[in-house]
């Protein structure tokens, strides 16, 4: 069974930056990988994904602030988040596209002054 481990979250002030990592227990080299987030009281939403050949797509509201990347040798996907806003507060998860049936524990991102 695949295992996903997200890390890198924390408390950041508005305007700050964080870099999230997601390490997967199996090879991701041929997979599209995505980041998702779930804010309190809301459904999980798609944030961004990256194709196996490195093309990235983002939710419209996040373009220009977030950057997704991958290191296939380390089975790791990254999410660089800049100019953070309070509305970015959420638990962030990664998964394949199409998603695996399991999710990691996520990493909490809190943006607050």
The model's pLDDT over 64-83, given as tens digits with 9 standing for 90+, comes to 899 999 999 999 999 999 99
Q: Which tokens belong to 33?
A: 């990988």
* pLDDT score, position 90: 98
Tell me, what's the pLDDT at 63?
A: 79
Please state the rounded mean pLDDT for residues 6-17: 98
What's residue 49's pLDDT? 97
Sheet holding 4-7, edge to edge: 4-7, 18-24, 76-81, 66-71
3-state secondary structure of 46: strand
Contacts of 41 (CB under 8 A, 6+ apart): none
Average pLDDT over residues 83-111: 97
Residue 46 phi/psi, 5-degree rounding, is -75, 140
Taking 90 as the threshold, does the pLDDT of residue 61 lie above it? no
């Amino acid at each position: 069974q695949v295992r996903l481990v997200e890390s890198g979250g924390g408390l950041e002030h508005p305007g700050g930056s964080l870099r999230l990592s997601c390490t997967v227990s199996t090879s991701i080299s041929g997979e599209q990988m995505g980041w998702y987030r779930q804010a309190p009281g809301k459904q999980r939403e798609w944030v961004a994904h990256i194709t196996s050949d490195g093309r990235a797509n983002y939710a419209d509201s996040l373009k220009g602030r977030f950057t997704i990347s991958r290191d296939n040798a380390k089975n790791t996907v990254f999410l660089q988040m800049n100019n953070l806003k309070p509305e970015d507060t959420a638990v962030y998860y990664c998964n394949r596209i199409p998603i695996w049936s399991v999710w990691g524990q996520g990493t909490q991102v809190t943006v607050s002054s």
